[in-house]
Amino acid sequence: GEGEQIFSVRATPLKGRVMLAFEDLSQTEAAQQIRRDFVANVSHELKTPLTALMGFIETLRGPARNDETARERFLAIMERETARMNRLVNDLLSLSRVEAVARQRPSDEVDVPRLLASALNALRPIAEEAGVEVVFDLPEDLPPVPGDADQLTQVFTNLIENALKYGASGKRIEVRVTREERVASLKGPALRCEVRDFGYGIDPIHIPRLTERFYRVDSHRSREMGGTGLGLAIAKHIIARHRGRFAIESKPGEGARFTVFLPVGAGQGG
Ligand code: ADP
């Protein structure tokens, strides 16, 4: 997987002793392979809509030249494909910005419940259009966390958008923040932020791979929904930068729950 240390071990007999040479391959072969796969994926993701666009342009120039109805229909498809390419490029830029600051500690003081409330507010029209009721519990008396407000907005916007896209059949989503006195893996207090839906859920075999770039359970469906396959990969990187934890749980047929644990900074724990 990404970010792991990969070592090659060479054993060389030398004057009756065995020398073990550890060579860190994480920056060499494995990293290069990951990069090659990534470039191939990006190219493929861009090529598909481009091929469609080129085909439609040709049709509009030729057979559909004088067909008003066909022209409108094709232009609508071209608009949708262009918007999708635009989202893809935006997500790629986000990913590279997130990587660029991965080692910098985020320095804003973030009021997470408030941030979630405004993310929900921005997505309200989408929820209404999908006929999904949004239930939320966002207490006002929680401590702020050290974080990057823009990046955290991106994480929660993505999780809520996914709940509205893939979980819409459940007709309800829930968003809540609570304070946990001690999250064992974080060795301290944290805010537990949960986005939950009651849609068709995710088969557990897919869960470990969901945060990989371009991994989709059903790529046709994701594309139909305008997805880029990068949202959860970006979320994972942002949460890692915050030294948080990301948990994905699901019972197929009953919905999915995405939980982000954000450590409450030292000295504010109370
Ligand atoms: P996409 O742009 O495809 O939505 P994401 O990285 O945001 O990319 O999500 C990756 C995949 O995870 C999606 O394609 C979808 O298959 C699955 N997924 C994400 N959220 C949910 C959810 N709430 N319910 C069911 N499946 C989900």
pLDDT in tens, 217-239: 988 888 888 889 999 999 999 99
CA of 250 to the centre of ligand 1 (A): 12
Q: Which amino acid is at 188?
A: G
Residue-averaged pLDDT of the chain? 90
Kindly provide the ipTM of the predicted complex, given to two decimals: 0.99
Burial of 227 (0-12, 13-18, 19+ CB in 10 A): buried
pLDDT over threshold 70, residue 10: no
Does ligand 1 come within 6 angstroms of the Cβ of 255? no
Q: What is the whole-number distance in angstroms between the Cα of residue 52 and the centre of ligand 1?
A: 24
Q: Is the CB of 199 within 6 Å of ligand 1?
A: yes
User: Residue 226's pLDDT is what?
Assistant: 80
Q: How far is the CA of 20 from the centre of ligand 1 (A)?
A: 44
pLDDT tens across 104-156, in order? Answer: 999 999 999 999 999 999 999 999 999 999 999 999 999 999 999 999 999 99
13 three-class SS: strand
The 10s digit of each residue's pLDDT in 46-66 is 999 999 999 999 999 998 889
Distance CA 174, CA 98 (A): 27
Cβ of 147 below 6 Å from ligand 1? no
User: Can you name the residues that pair with 10 across neighbouring β-strands?
Assistant: 21
Place of tokens 């004057």: 15
pLDDT at 193: 98
- pLDDT band of residue 3 (cuts 50, 70, 90) is very low
The percent of residues above 90 in pLDDT, for the chain, comes to 79
- Stated pTM of the model: 0.86
The span from the CA of 127 to the CA of 147, in Å, is 27
Ligand 1 center from residue 198 Cα (angstroms):
14
Joined together, the tokens standing for residue 62 give 């030729």
The dihedral sign for the CA sequence 93, 96, 100, 106 = positive
